Structure 1
Amino acid sequence: MFARKNIKRYYLIGLRKIRSFLLSAKSRELLIFLFFVIVSFCFWLLQTMNDTYQTEFKIPVRLKNVPKEVVMTSEIPNEIRVSVEDRGTVLLNYMLGRTFFPISFDFQDYQDKGAKVTIPLAEFNKKITSQLASSTKLLSVRPNVIEFIYTRGNAKKVPVAAKGRMVAGRQYYISNILLAPDSVVVYAPKDVLNSITTAYTEPLDLENITDTVVQRIHLQEVKGAKFAPAFTDVTICVDMYSEKTVEVPVVGLNFPAGKVLRTFPSRVQVAFQVGLKNFKRVSENDFFIGVSYEDLLNNKSSKIPLTLRSKPDFVNHVRIVPEEVDYLIEQQPVEEGTE
Structure 2
Amino acid sequence: MRLDLKSLKGRKNEGERTFSPEHRRKRTTQVVTFLFFVFLSAIFWFIQSLQMRFPYVLHIPITYDSIPPEVGLESHLPEFIEVSLEDEGNHILEYSIRGVNPITLHLKQHKGVNQGFSLTAAALTQEVRKRLSSSARITTISPASIEVSAYHRARKVVPIVVGQLPLVTQGYSLGEVELTPSEVTIFASAKLLDSIRFIRTAPFEEQILETTTTTKVSLLLPEGVYASTNIVQAHLPVEQLTEQTITLPITVKDAPSGYELRPLPSSITLHLTLPRSRYGEVRADLFEVSVNYPREDTHSTDDGQRELPLQVTKKPSWVHLIRLNPDRVQYVIEERRPSKPWM
TM-score for both structures, normalised by structure 2 = 0.65
Distance, in Å, in 1 between the alignment partners of 2:164 and 2:292 is: 42
Query: What's the counterpart of residue 137 of structure 2?
Result: 135
Structure 1 residue 96 displacement after superposition: 6.8
Structure 1 residue 214 displacement after superposition: 0.6
Query: What's the counterpart of residue 13 of structure 1?
Result: none
In structure 1, which of residues 304, 308, 311 is the aligned counterpart of residue 311 of structure 2? 308
Q: Which segment drifts farther, 284-293 or 171-180?
A: 284-293
Q: Counterpart amino acid of 1:276? A: R
Query: What's the counterpart of residue 288 of structure 2?
Result: 288
What is the DSSP-based 3-state SS (H/G/I as helix, E as strand, rest coil) of the residue aligned with 1:176?
coil
Query: What's the counterpart of residue 275 of structure 1?
Result: 275
Does the aligned pair in 2 maintain the 1:63–1:106 contact within 8 Å? yes
Distance, in Å, in 1 between the alignment partners of 2:102 and 2:257 is: 95
Query: What's the counterpart of residue 239 of structure 2?
Result: 239
Change (3 A) 1:86 1:228: same
Query: What's the counterpart of residue 23 of structure 2?
Result: none
Between the aligned residues of both structures, percent identity stands at 19
1:324 correspondence with 2:325? no
Distance, in Å, in 1 between the alignment partners of 2:142 and 2:163 is: 39
User: What are the within-5 Å matches in structure 2 for residues 32-47 of structure 1?
Assistant: 36-37=37-38, 39-46=40-47
Q: Counterpart amino acid of 1:135? A: R
Does the aligned pair in 2 maintain the 1:160–1:201 contact within 8 Å? yes
Structure 1 residue 295 displacement after superposition: 4.0
1:297-321 deviation line (CA, Å, top 9, x unaligned): 4434413132214121322332222
Change (3 A) 1:134 1:335: same
Change (3 A) 1:187 1:106: closer
What is the DSSP-based 3-state SS (H/G/I as helix, E as strand, rest coil) of the residue aligned with 1:246?
strand
Q: Which segment drifts farther, 85-94 or 303-312?
A: 85-94
User: What are the within-5 Å matches in structure 2 for residues 217-256 of structure 1?
Assistant: 217-220=217-220, 227-256=227-256
Distance, in Å, in 2 between the alignment partners of 1:185 and 1:285 is: 41
TM-score for both structures, normalised by structure 1 = 0.66
Q: Counterpart amino acid of 2:266? A: S
What is the DSSP-based 3-state SS (H/G/I as helix, E as strand, rest coil) of the residue aligned with 2:170?
coil
Distance, in Å, in 1 between the alignment partners of 2:248 and 2:80 is: 72
1:171-194 deviation line (CA, Å, top 9, x unaligned): 222211111222244466766766
Structure 1 residue 38 displacement after superposition: 5.4
What is the DSSP-based 3-state SS (H/G/I as helix, E as strand, rest coil) of the residue aligned with 1:269?
strand
Distance, in Å, in 2 between the alignment partners of 1:115 and 1:208 is: 47
What is the DSSP-based 3-state SS (H/G/I as helix, E as strand, rest coil) of the residue aligned with 1:206?
coil
Query: What's the counterpart of residue 162 of structure 1?
Result: 162
Does the aligned pair in 1 maintain the 2:255–2:293 contact within 8 Å? yes
Change (3 A) 1:318 1:127: farther
Does the aligned pair in 1 maintain the 2:107–2:115 contact within 8 Å? no
Change (3 A) 1:123 1:72: farther
Structure 1 residue 84 displacement after superposition: 4.0
Distance, in Å, in 1 between the alignment partners of 2:266 and 2:224 is: 65
Change (3 A) 1:145 1:236: farther
List alignment gaps of at least 5 residues for structure 1.
Answer: 1-24
